[in-house]
């Protein structure tokens, strides 16, 4: 610890020559001049080490006693730094570095948005930008509380925002609103209609009057469950049956068949790159693009524009882009029939699965492949199990409306 303190304040080793060196030591002790490392060189001279700040006092004492003082060596941080006082480039660099750390670190370089699911990050950033928070803004000038309130105005699905600034980084914590549960309406009179042709496999009836039963064949648009439920008259009563209007609800599973066709050209046009190309560079800084040396204009006809971006430090809003405009020509090629067929089959199966939904299941399927002109045509016929039925308002029943 003592060595560290001595290093920080700097110390000098001095040679003192005086008629009575003991008097020098006694005066040093009286006037509070610290010294150590004392060596007696001769009857009239000695060497000692003292802090840099006490040198003036020691010089005064020695001169008062008619002696002389010579500096032998100097150690410590003040003397180390003093060596750089004439190196102006170093001082300028040091000043700029301190300036960069002290001032530039207050500008916002990164905005990090977390916690959003329904609202996109781009929407939140746009709203924040309109409120005054964007890349490159001076951090201490921001009022985070008012930002939190103003940015939330245009975001319907956001309950509140928490904005925290740590140096150059802004962290936006988003808490979205909780959507109310979907309440199935019981108001009104509604029927359930079939949306595809098929054979009924299962009916789970919640409300309404079933118009079909398991094993029946239905066509698209046919009523499956009616919105009027019959209330039979009491036994031996002469009163007519009553009809209770309800909002029909049921889960109806049916066996269905889907046929989908896809085509692809047998001789597609392929791009072939030519020798001619033009390269330009762009600097992307704080969300803005700056062209370097030349303009990156829109590509002329017959040219592809290829952009390759490099971000030296991923956390900083700084990137370089190399834009190459490559001349291309279109030349016909021959399709590999097997791979083209496989591609179409995969696409068709995926399309059917999308059509029948997550609950649906493809039981069997078959493909028919044929060449029509210069097109390869693949037709998929799939047998599926899926839920059918959609709700529509029921037509008013005669007589019931009059009651």
Partner 1 sequence: MKKRRTSLLERTASALDLPAQTVAGLPFLELTGDHELRIENHRGILAYSEEEIHISGGIYRIMVQGQSLVLRTMTAVELLITGQITAISLE
Site residues (vs partner 1, CB under 8 A) = 21-23, 25-26, 28-30, 32, 34-36, 38-40, 46
Q: Which is nearer to partner 1, 41 or 289 (CB)?
A: 41
CB 78 to partner 1: min, Å: 22
Q: Which is nearer to partner 1, 42 or 86 (CB)?
A: 42
**Six-digit token pair at 76?**
């410590």
- Distance (Å) of CA 313 to CA 158, 288, 318: 31, 17, 8
| Closer Cβ to partner 1, 32 or 181, answer by number | 32
- As given in the structure block, the two tokens for residue 48 are 């000692």
CA distance 13 to 74: 6
Using alpha carbons, list the distances in angstroms from residue 375 to 21, 259, 267, 341, 344: 113, 19, 8, 11, 12
CB of residue 33 to partner 1, shortest distance in Å? 9
Q: The tokens of 143 are what?
A: 């009022």
Q: Closest approach of Cβ 72 to partner 1, in Å?
A: 18
| Residue with Cβ nearer partner 1 (26 or 185) | 26
Shortest distance (Å) from residue 56 CB to partner 1: 18
Task: Give the nearest distance from C-beta 27 to partner 1 in angstroms.
Answer: 9
Residue with Cβ nearer partner 1 (50 or 135): 50
Helices (H), 103-135: 121-131
Residues 55, 58, 63, CA angle at the centre, nearest 5°?
125
Name the burial class of residue 148, with classes exposed (0-12), middle (13-18) and buried (19+) by CB atoms within 10 angstroms of its CB.
middle
Name the burial class of residue 384, with classes exposed (0-12), middle (13-18) and buried (19+) by CB atoms within 10 angstroms of its CB: buried
Give, as one character, the DSSP assignment of residue 44. S
Pairing mode, strands 110-114 and 169-176: parallel
- Residue 30 CB, shortest distance to partner 1, in Å, is 5
Residue 20 Cβ vs partner 1, minimum distance, rounded to whole Å: 10
Query: Which among 151, 164, 149 is positioned nearest to 112, based on CA atoms?
Result: 164
Residue number with CB closer to partner 1 (35 or 190): 35
The smaller minimum CB distance to partner 1, of residues 29 and 214, is found at 29
């Amino acid at each position: 610890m003592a060595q560290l303190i001595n290093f920080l304040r700097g110390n000098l080793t001095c040679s003192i020559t005086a008629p009575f060196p003991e008097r020098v030591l006694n005066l040093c002790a009286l006037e509070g001049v610290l010294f150590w490392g004392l060596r007696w060189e001769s009857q009239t001279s000695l060497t000692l080490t003292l802090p840099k700040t006490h040198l003036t006092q020691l010089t005064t004492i020695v001169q008062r006693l008619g002696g002389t003082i010579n500096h032998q060596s100097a150690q410590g941080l003040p003397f180390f730094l003093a060596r750089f006082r004439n190196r102006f480039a170093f001082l300028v660099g040091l000043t700029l570095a301190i300036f960069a750390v002290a001032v530039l670190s207050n500008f916002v370089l990164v905005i990090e948005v977390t916690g959003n699911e329904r609202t996109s990050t781009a929407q939140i950033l746009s709203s924040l930008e309109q409120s005054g928070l964007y890349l490159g803004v001076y951090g201490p000038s921001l009022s985070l509380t008012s930002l939190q309130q103003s940015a939330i105005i245009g975001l319907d699905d956001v309950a509140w925002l928490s904005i925290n600034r740590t140096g150059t980084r802004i962290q936006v914590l988003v808490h979205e609103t909780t959507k109310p549960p979907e309440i199935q309406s019981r108001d009104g009179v509604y029927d359930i209609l079939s949306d595809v042709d098929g054979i009924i496999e299962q009916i789970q009836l919640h409300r309404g009057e079933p118009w079909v039963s398991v094993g029946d064949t239905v066509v698209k648009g046919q009523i499956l469950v009616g919105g009027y439920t019959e209330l039979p008259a009491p036994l031996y009563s002469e009163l007519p049956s009553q009809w209770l209007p309800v909002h029909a609800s049921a889960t109806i599973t049916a066996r269905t068949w889907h046929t989908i066709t896809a085509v692809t050209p047998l001789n597609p046009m392929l791009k072939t790159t030519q020798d001619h190309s033009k390269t330009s560079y762009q600097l992307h800084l704080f969300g803005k693009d700056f062209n370097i040396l030349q303009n990156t204009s829109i590509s002329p006809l017959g040219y592809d524009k290829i952009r390759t971006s490099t971000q030296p430090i991923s956390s900083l809003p700084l990137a370089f882009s190399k834009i190459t405009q490559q001349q291309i020509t279109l030349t016909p090629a021959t399709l590999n029939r097997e791979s083209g067929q496989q591609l179409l089959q995969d696409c068709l199966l995926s399309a059917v699965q999308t059509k029948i939904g997550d609950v649906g299941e493809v039981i069997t399927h078959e493909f028919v492949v044929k060449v029509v002109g210069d097109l390869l045509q693949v037709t998929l016929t799939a047998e599926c199990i899926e839920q059918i039925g959609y709700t529509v308002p029921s037509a008013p029943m005669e007589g019931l409306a009059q009651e």
